[in-house]
């Protein structure tokens, strides 16, 4: 292995890590992304020096799990701090999931495979619950929007 | 009618209100207690002090730094170390007076917890010298 190879591996790892930082919220990334990249690169060098390629791989595993946690936390923080856009995206996603689950269940139980009386009843309750959540979210959003425009 | 002079009194935040700190936040405050450091130096300090038992990843480190800065416990330092030791690309952080008081309060809280653990014989009591 040439002398430059370890440095190349570290450089590639660094670039890859910077790409993966895209999973974090943009404000956080813009503020701390460059520093996180530097720290990651320094640790890569240290791990490579101490444990060779295995050491580097182990550091990657740790860094990835840490990054995943950070990505989730930055988005959750944004919601907690009242990021309107984030709330809207979450609402639409929830509506989509519950709405499509309700429609699919309805289709499955009523058309595709009609079930015995009691089973279909239970599923129908689930369908109604799913659709209620969807309608409830839509209604709440419309109500809030209406209140905001009246102010 | 006599007019009362109203002066705005600066409200000192209560250090206890921020407790308990997360382990990562407390480790960062302890690392900064004796001087300013950049992110990687904080990581190395924590690693060395805990003999590798507590390892903070870059994400956790900067998430905690962000939180500590928002709460006014640490701040970015304007002063740079000696030229030969300085790395321009790095940002240095230092603990604030309020951060120092919060760290002291957290240390006291943990000491009380250790005392309780000793009283319940979960830990041996330290020998008197």
Q: Are residues A34 and A22 in the same domain?
A: yes
Residues B91-96, mean pLDDT to the nearest whole number: 94
Query: Which residue, of A59, A80, A101, is where some domain finishes?
Result: A80
Q: Are residues A102 and A90 in the same domain?
A: yes
Q: Are residues A145 and A98 in the same domain?
A: yes
Choose the closest CB to B58 out of A63, A71, A74: A63
Cβ–Cβ of B43/A65 closer than 8 Å?
Answer: no
Chain B contact present for A73, CB below 8 A:
yes
Query: Which residue, of A48, A80, A112, is where some domain finishes?
Result: A80
- The domain of A114 spans 84-150
pLDDT (tens digit per residue) in A96-112: 777 777 777 777 766 66
Q: Are residues A40 and A26 in the same domain?
A: yes
Cβ–Cβ of A67/B57 closer than 8 Å?
Answer: yes
Q: Are residues A8 and A71 in the same domain?
A: yes
pLDDT (tens digit per residue) in A47-89: 999 888 899 999 999 999 999 999 989 888 877 776 666 667 7
Residues B61-78, mean pLDDT to the nearest whole number: 94
pLDDT attached to residue B10: 62
**End-to-end CA distance of chain B, in Å?**
68
pLDDT attached to residue A75: 84
Q: Are residues A8 and A67 in the same domain?
A: yes
pLDDT attached to residue B90: 85
Q: Are residues A9 and A75 in the same domain?
A: yes
Strand partners, B93: B37, B76
Q: Are residues A22 and A59 in the same domain?
A: yes
Chain A contact present for B65, CB below 8 A:
yes
Q: For chain B, which domains are there?
A: 20-119 (1.10.10.10)
pLDDT: is B9 or B24 the higher one? B24
pLDDT attached to residue A139: 72
Lowest mean pLDDT among A112-121, B9-18, B87-96: A112-121
Q: Are residues A23 and A74 in the same domain?
A: yes
Choose the closest CB to A69 out of B59, B90, B91: B59
Chain A contact present for B39, CB below 8 A:
yes
pLDDT attached to residue A83: 66
Q: Please say whether the beta carbons of A37 and A18 come within 8 A.
A: yes
Number of domains present in the structure of chain A: 2
Closest residue in B to A71 (Cα) is: B59
pLDDT attached to residue B68: 96
Q: How high is the ipTM of this complex?
A: 0.80
Question: Has residue A141 got a pLDDT over 80?
Answer: no
pLDDT attached to residue B8: 57
Q: Are residues A98 and A45 in the same domain?
A: no
Distance from CA of B126 to the nearest CA of A (A): 36
Question: Has residue B85 got a pLDDT over 70?
Answer: no
Compute CA distances B4 → B1, B7, B8, B11, whole Å: 9, 9, 13, 20
Chain B contact present for A43, CB below 8 A:
yes
Query: Which residue, of A80, A108, A129, is where some domain finishes?
Result: A80
What is the CA A52 to chain-centroid distance, rounded?
33
Q: Are residues A89 and A132 in the same domain?
A: yes
């Amino acid at each position: 292995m040439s002398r430059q190879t370890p440095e190349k591996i570290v450089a590639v790892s660094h670039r890859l890590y910077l790409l993966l930082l895209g999973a974090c919220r943009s404000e956080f990334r813009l503020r701390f992304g460059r520093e996180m990249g530097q720290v990651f690169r320094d640790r890569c060098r240290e791990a490579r020096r101490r444990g060779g390629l295995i050491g580097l791989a182990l550091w990657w595993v740790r860094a990835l799990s840490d990054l995943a946690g950070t990505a989730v936390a930055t988005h959750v923080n944004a919601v907690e701090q009242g990021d309107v856009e984030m709330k809207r995206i979450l609402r639409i996603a929830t509506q989509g999931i519950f709405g499509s689950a309700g429609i699919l269940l309805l289709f499955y139980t009523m058309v595709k495979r009609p079930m015995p009386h009691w089973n279909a009843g239970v599923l129908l309750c689930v369908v109604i619950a799913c659709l209620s959540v969807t309608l409830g979210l839509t209604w709440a959003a419309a109500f809030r929007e209406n209140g905001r425009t009246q102010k | 009618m006599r007019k009362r002079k109203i002066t705005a009194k600066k409200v000192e935040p209560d250090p206890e209100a921020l407790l308990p700190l997360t382990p990562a936040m407390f480790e960062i405050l302890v690392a900064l207690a004796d001087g300013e450091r950049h992110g990687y130096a904080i990581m190395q300090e924590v690693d060395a002090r805990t003999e590798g038992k507590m390892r903070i990843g870059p994400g956790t480190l900067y998430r905690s730094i962000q939180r500590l800065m928002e709460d006014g416990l640490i701040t970015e330092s304007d002063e740079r170390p000696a030229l030969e030791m300085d790395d321009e690309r790095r940002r240095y952080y230092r603990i604030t007076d309020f951060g120092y008081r919060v760290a002291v309060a957290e240390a006291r809280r943990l000491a009380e917890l250790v005392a309780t653990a000793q009283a319940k014989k979960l830990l041996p009591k330290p020998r008197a010298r």
